[in-house]
Structure 1
């Protein structure tokens, strides 16, 4: 018997690929000489007012279960927050989850049967496509295409891929890793097509506040919620992780048709029971102080983007464009088509930790993702200096 292949596990699970991002990170984690930009999180800690709310909750002894769907006060706060951005969103459409990735998995469990056809727009964070595969879906990908470093959607190709046989469309905008962002008109066109085919839209919009294509500090990216009706076949996923500097808290939420919500509560019960109360109290505080937290975070990230991208553009053989949203520079490095091998070499030879493009889709081979969410702008500059030195030394293609 091969003890490395447990015969009692589902073949679908055995066939899942391990995270290529983790594969690279594992090669350099714990090395103090490595500048790490591989994970999608800021290096800034959660604001004091949010942390204190959790501390106060624990001091009050709030260490017990909450409602499956979340504390009523947090659900209402989320509904109010969403309504301020996108028009009326009722509390009965909201479920609190143990992170954005948990929200995505719950949506997949609720809507996908084995054998269902699912279409995904790629490149994309690998968890989104992996979750559909875990559920036994027949996954079809529609690839964005890079034009001068800017990734773009072929709308005709996407609509051709979505037919009455398509159970779900998975789309992440603003996109991780490319920064590609749907326009409101494109969202309306996609939603109208999915209404005609009876297809569910699962929209990962966790980066909506990290949006730089606007002059207002309280802006957000276009959302499917802006163009939809409450009973549309639409599930929108959000997280406290990015806009509120709360990645490790594992707190997110779902917006869905109200008829789904009580049944989603059952799924939450059978997955995690509920998000921890003290974490939810932190979420309430984060939403209460949105105006103090999120605009500052977004302004700093824009400065990070505008610092890093010109430095990358000045490097020989680099193709990159400023991202409209998110926290990543996604760039192509000429002559280095195997991004996993390149990323591992950068760790070993340059002390630079980046995520490989192949982690997000085959069409992103030769691309690298750099998370620019750094408090220290000089750290970004030092990272580029290390990349420049490595590129000059390794100017011929990989062999």
Structure 2
């Protein structure tokens, strides 16, 4: 007998759109000749000293329950790293270790947001950033980046007008995924001052903070450089990108101590704790990884320019300048539906790119290409396949 009670999730969950990036990738993952640039990760392996730290931890039997907020040795190493990077103390009491950056974003939203709260996000952006508040019953207003003088830019007047006193949180990702837009120090100070005035929380997604193209900076402009301990500022970061540790799933949160205390309670009811071998790996990354980050940044700056130069040689391709990350976000004249375009590229050219629509309606007509590769030969092959496709379809 069929039940009269439908077997469905709550409406908010059922309305979440599945990942378009995954949809494209699932079409092409099994193709032996596929050139894949759809996911946001380097093709380089995790450095051996990091994996060795995890292996040693496993061999020593560190496989038990541990502190919710992370092991003290990792929180102290992170405190030392952040203090040295930003030139100001960031104590362990301001830090939580999370099961990846995405877990940190969800935990922060669970801590700060309530159903009906208003959130503002700068877009286009990684879809998880805007879906998380909506999962919790908040509403999200989007302020779209623009292209100004050939580069991605933020319309500050538009943003400040959206940040009204009834807004609970602003979400900023810089350098941004997918655009590579990078906030300026002046913009940081203007936004921080405005949010202080109205009591608006700032959630800064800093996953690409160290991966900037400019050689005269160690990291992208940061709210942590200007905020006081009393500011409503939360920074979420990850070991995935700068330390090549995507599979380890280690992230962290910087927040006022009372928020960290609340996060500790929520971690207990989410994941309880992070696997200690992963924490040992993260500690090793902090203690010995600076030279690797410097090398990775130089490689990314080179591969970015190589890719952008190659794209701009193709007919009808427009690529705005960006300041960091690991992506080129571009459009091709005559291809408005880039979801269809990227599916065709998989089927006809074995070329895997991400459709701009995956990052919100502002991304329609755009395409994201991850350039985090160990050899530009792979990029050259991809450019050749894209050029051949365009020649056949003009």
Report the TM-score when normalising by structure 1.
Answer: 0.96
The equivalent residue for 1:338 is 337
Structure 2 unmatched ranges of 5 or more? none
The equivalent residue for 1:50 is 50
Secondary structure in structure 2 of the residue aligned to 1:96 = strand
Are 1:252 and 2:251 matched, yes or no?
yes
CA deviation vs aligned residue, 1:339-394 (integer Å, no higher than 9, x gap): 11111011111110000000112121111000000112100000000001111111
Q: How does 1:119-134 map to 2 (within 5 A)?
A: 119-134=120-135
| Paired residue total | 392
Secondary structure in structure 1 of the residue aligned to 2:207 = coil
The equivalent residue for 1:318 is 317
Using the alignment, how far apart are the partners of 1:329 and 1:2 within structure 2?
51
Tell me how far 1:2 sits from its aligned partner. 11
The equivalent residue for 2:72 is 72
Q: How does 1:95-114 map to 2 (within 5 A)?
A: 95-114=96-115
Aligned residues of 2:110 and 2:136 also touching (Cα < 8 A): yes
CA deviation vs aligned residue, 1:91-127 (integer Å, no higher than 9, x gap): 1000000000000011111111011011111000000
Secondary structure in structure 1 of the residue aligned to 2:224 = helix
Aligned residues of 1:184 and 1:227 also touching (Cα < 8 A): no
Using the alignment, how far apart are the partners of 2:381 and 2:55 within structure 1?
37
Aligned residues of 1:240 and 1:251 also touching (Cα < 8 A): yes
The equivalent residue for 2:211 is 210
Using the alignment, how far apart are the partners of 1:6 and 1:372 within structure 2?
45
Tell me how far 1:213 sits from its aligned partner. 2.2
Q: How does 1:145-156 map to 2 (within 5 A)?
A: 145-147=146-148, 149-156=150-157
Using the alignment, how far apart are the partners of 2:122 and 2:230 within structure 1?
23
Report the CA distance shift for 1:70/1:191 in structure 2 as closer, same or farther (over 3 A).
Answer: same
Using the alignment, how far apart are the partners of 1:157 and 1:19 within structure 2?
28
Secondary structure in structure 2 of the residue aligned to 1:106 = helix
Q: Hey, which bits of structure 1, 4+ residues long, moved more than 4 A? A: 5-8
Structure 1 unmatched ranges of 5 or more? none
Across the aligned residues of Structure 1 and Structure 2, the Cα RMSD in angstroms comes to 1.5
Using the alignment, how far apart are the partners of 2:290 and 2:113 within structure 1?
37
The equivalent residue for 1:161 is 162
Tell me how far 1:231 sits from its aligned partner. 1.8
Aligned residues of 2:152 and 2:321 also touching (Cα < 8 A): no
Q: How does 1:288-367 map to 2 (within 5 A)?
A: 288-367=287-366
Using the alignment, how far apart are the partners of 2:360 and 2:247 within structure 1?
26
CA deviation vs aligned residue, 1:43-70 (integer Å, no higher than 9, x gap): 1110000000000000000000110000
Report the CA distance shift for 1:94/1:2 in structure 2 as closer, same or farther (over 3 A).
Answer: farther
Using the alignment, how far apart are the partners of 1:366 and 1:206 within structure 2?
25
Using the alignment, how far apart are the partners of 1:62 and 1:209 within structure 2?
30
Report the TM-score when normalising by structure 2.
Answer: 0.97
The equivalent residue for 1:27 is 27
The equivalent residue for 2:172 is 171
CA deviation vs aligned residue, 1:188-237 (integer Å, no higher than 9, x gap): 10011111111100000110100112335xx1001110111112101000
Secondary structure in structure 2 of the residue aligned to 1:307 = helix
Secondary structure in structure 1 of the residue aligned to 2:181 = coil
